[in-house]
Amino acid sequence: MQDFLVHSLVASIVLTILANLIPRLFPKATQKAERHVHEKMKEAFEEREDGTRPKVRVFFPWKTMIVVSIVLTVLLNLIGLLVQR
């Protein structure tokens, strides 16, 4: 149990560092993503004002959830195999 806590703490620190460094390494990609989000928000507001968009939009990313689940399962199993050795 103690090993799990240490591994999860190290993974948390590494992921935090990566989440902060990646936008700095690729600033144009970050700006592009921000512009894309702003454009989508603007389109959503315009569609809502025109009445062409329903007030409630349900978004359930089930395909993404399945892919992420499979990838994380494989990664955790690989890490488990490497740690056992």
> Hey, what amino acid is at 85?
R
Instruction: Give the span between the Cα atoms of 46 and 17, in whole angstroms.
Output: 37
> Hey, what amino acid is at 31?
Q
Q: Write down the pLDDT at residue 39.
A: 93
Residues 9-37 have pLDDT tens digits of 888 899 899 888 888 888 888 889 889 99
Its pTM stands at 0.41
